[in-house]
Amino acid sequence: MNKIYTPITFDRNESEGFFISPDNKIFCNNGRKHIDVLINHPEIFNLTTDYLKAQYKKHNEPYGFEGIARKEIIQQIIKQDWIHLRYFPRNGKWKFNIGYSDENYIKLLSFINIMKKKNYILDNDYFEIQRFNEHSTLISSGTYSVVKNYNINKKTGSYLNLKDFEKMLSDFIL
């Protein structure tokens, strides 16, 4: 269940994107843009090339452009319980875009644990978590930082140990 399905050539000095599938498979973009992965492998995401091209045509954008069509395509896979995430090396930030399903928090915690064990997530990294409902409307957002096995809510300054962080994430589950 927690297997990495594409080779990770992760360099913390470079931005990197990932997808986590509805069945908790981790896909590393290996330096490619998210939209390029979607275009090159639509079948993995239960999409078709015709659907992708139609989205770009609808918005009069070049195929593969990172604009409105890309946003709508990513929102579509988030509705299907994919997690879309990116690591930003400049500030050690991990940004997660997740759907409404409660299982997404479990997948998020699983990913964080895997990446911490591999030393890809470090003690001074922080996470921005955005949760969207079935209509692609942002319903919750928060930023948290892991500092020597403690988490700090950047908005309130409160510290949480990892167990409390997991409980806090489970409290988001409706």
Q: What is the pLDDT of residue 26?
A: 87
Q: What is the pLDDT of residue 72?
A: 94
Q: What is the pLDDT of residue 104?
A: 84
Q: What is the pLDDT of residue 151?
A: 47
CB 78 within 8 A of CB 134: no
Task: With CA atoms as reference, report the closest residue to 76 among 106, 38, 105.
Answer: 38
Where do the structural domains in the chain lie, given as residue ranges? Answer: 16-172
pLDDT along the chain (174 residues), means of 10: 48 88 88 92 95 98 96 93 92 86 81 82 80 76 54 45 53 43
CB 87 within 8 A of CB 48: no
Task: With CA atoms as reference, report the closest residue to 165 among 109, 116, 118, 114.
Answer: 109
Q: Which two tokens stand for residue 92?
A: 């050690």
Q: Provide DSSP, 26-45.
A: EEE-TT--HHHHHHH-GGGG
